[in-house]
Amino acid sequence: STEKQTHGFQAEVSRLLHLMIHSLYSNREIFLRELVSNASDACDKLRFQSLDNPALIGEGAEPAITLTIDKEAGTLTVADNGIGMDESDVVDNLGTIARSGTEKFLAQLSGDQKKDAQLIGQFGVGFYSAFIVADKVTVETRKAGSDKASGVRWESDGQGEFTVEGIERLQPGTAVILHLRDDARDFLDPFKIRQVINQYSDHVAFPINLLTPAEGDAEESSETLNSATALWQRPRQEVSDEEYQSFYKHISHDFQDALSWSHNKVEGALEYTSLLYLPARAPFDLYHRDANRGLKLYVQRVFIMDDAEQFLPQYLRFVKGVIDAPDLPLNVSRELLQDYGPVQKIRAALTKRVLQMLKKLSNDEEQYKAFWSQFGQVLKEGIGEDADNREAIAALLRFASTHEEEGVTRLDAYLERKPAEQESIYYLLADTPSAALNSPHLEVFRKKGIEVLLLSDPVDEWMVSYLDSYKDVKLVNAARGELDLDEAAGEAESDNPLVARLKDSLAEQVESVRATRRLVDSPSCLVLAEDQLGPQMRRMLEAAGQ
Ligand code: ADP
Ligand code: MG
Is 216 annotated as ligand-binding?
no
CA angle 267, 257, 246 (to 5 degrees): 60
| pLDDT tens digits, one per residue of 210-260 | 998 887 888 888 999 988 888 999 999 999 999 999 899 888 877 789 999
Q: What's the confidence (pLDDT) of residue 46?
A: 93
The predicted model gives 429-456 an average pLDDT of 90
Is 157 annotated as ligand-binding?
no
Averaged confidence pLDDT in the chain? 86
Q: What's the confidence (pLDDT) of residue 539?
A: 67
pLDDT at residue 125 above 70?
A: no
Centroid of ligand 2 to alpha carbon of 125 (angstroms): 7
CA nearest ligand 1 atom 19, residue: 38
Q: How confident is the model at residue 329 (pLDDT cuts 50, 70, 90)?
A: confident
Instruction: Say what the pTM is.
Output: 0.75
The predicted model gives 470-488 an average pLDDT of 77
CA nearest ligand 1 atom 17, residue: 93
Which of 87, 93, 100, 162 to probe ligand 1 with, by most ligand atoms within 8 A of CB? Answer: 93
Q: What's the confidence (pLDDT) of residue 481?
A: 55
Q: How far apart are CA 503 and CA 530, in angstroms?
A: 19
Confirm whether the ipTM is greater than 0.85: yes
Centroid of ligand 1 to alpha carbon of 338 (angstroms): 27
Q: Is 16 in the pocket of ligand 1 (CB under 6 A)?
A: no
| pLDDT tens digits, one per residue of 443-476 | 889 988 999 999 999 999 999 999 999 999 999 9
Centroid of ligand 2 to alpha carbon of 317 (angstroms): 21
Centroid of ligand 1 to alpha carbon of 124 (angstroms): 9
Q: Is 34 in the pocket of ligand 1 (CB under 6 A)?
A: yes
Centroid of ligand 1 to alpha carbon of 78 (angstroms): 13
Centroid of ligand 1 to alpha carbon of 39 (angstroms): 8
Length of the chain: 546
CA nearest ligand 1 atom 20, residue: 38
Q: What's the confidence (pLDDT) of residue 290?
A: 67
Q: Is 20 in the pocket of ligand 1 (CB under 6 A)?
A: no
Contact between residue 312 and residue 351 where contact means Cβ atoms under 8 Å apart = yes
Q: What's the confidence (pLDDT) of residue 86?
A: 96
| pLDDT tens digits, one per residue of 362-383 | 999 889 999 999 999 999 999 9
pLDDT at residue 23 above 90?
A: no
| pLDDT tens digits, one per residue of 38-85 | 999 999 999 889 888 888 887 667 899 999 999 999 999 999 999 999
The predicted model gives 398-404 an average pLDDT of 90
Q: Which of 270-279, 512-521, 533-542 has the highest mean pLDDT?
A: 270-279
Q: What's the confidence (pLDDT) of residue 1?
A: 60
Q: Is 80 in the pocket of ligand 1 (CB under 6 A)?
A: yes
Q: Is 44 in the pocket of ligand 1 (CB under 6 A)?
A: no
When mean pLDDT is compared across 102-111, 198-207, 245-254, the lowest value belongs to 102-111
Q: Which of 162-176, 293-307, 405-419 has the highest mean pLDDT?
A: 162-176
pLDDT at residue 535 above 70?
A: no
Q: Which residue has the higher pLDDT, 160 or 143?
A: 143
pLDDT at residue 124 above 60?
A: no
pLDDT at residue 150 above 60?
A: yes
Q: How confident is the model at residue 492 (pLDDT cuts 50, 70, 90)?
A: very low
The predicted model gives 151-171 an average pLDDT of 94
CA nearest ligand 1 atom 4, residue: 124
Q: What's the confidence (pLDDT) of residue 488?
A: 43
Q: Is 93 in the pocket of ligand 1 (CB under 6 A)?
A: yes
Sheet holding 469-470, edge to edge: 404-409, 399-401, 452-455, 424-429, 473-477, 469-470
Q: How confident is the model at residue 490 (pLDDT cuts 50, 70, 90)?
A: very low
Centroid of ligand 2 to alpha carbon of 240 (angstroms): 25
Question: Which is it for strands 452-455 and 424-429: parallel, antiparallel or unpaired?
Answer: parallel
Q: Is 144 in the pocket of ligand 1 (CB under 6 A)?
A: no
